[in-house]
Amino acid sequence: MKPFRVILPITLVIALFGASCSKPKDQNKSEITVAAAADLESVFAEIARDFESATGVHITFSFGSSGNLKQQIENGAPFDAFASANVAYVDALAKEGLTMPDRRRVYAEGQITLWQRKDTKVQVNSLQDLTKPEVKHIAIANPGHAPYGAAAVESLQSAGIYDQVQSKLVFGENVLETRQFVQSGNAEVGIVARALSDVPDCRWVPIDPASHKPIDQAVCVIKASRNGELAGQFVEFLGQPQAAAALRRYGFTVPENGDN
Which neighbouring-strand residues pair with 206? 113
Q: What is the pLDDT of residue 1?
A: 44
Sorted by where each begins, the domain ranges of the chain are: 30-109+214-249, 112-206
pLDDT band at 37 (very low <50, low <70, confident <90, very high): very high
pLDDT band at 28 (very low <50, low <70, confident <90, very high): low
Q: What is the mean pLDDT of residues 230-240?
A: 97
Q: How far apart are CA 77 and CA 206, in angstroms?
A: 35
Same fold, 30-109+214-249 and 112-206: yes
CATH C-level class of 30-109+214-249: alpha beta
pLDDT digits (tens, 9 = 90+) for 152-205: 999 999 999 999 999 999 999 999 999 999 999 999 999 999 999 999 999 999
pLDDT band at 22 (very low <50, low <70, confident <90, very high): very low
112-206: CATH topology: D-Maltodextrin-Binding Protein; domain 2 (3.40.190)
Q: How far apart are CA 147 and CA 85, in angstroms?
A: 6
Percent of the chain with pLDDT over 90: 86
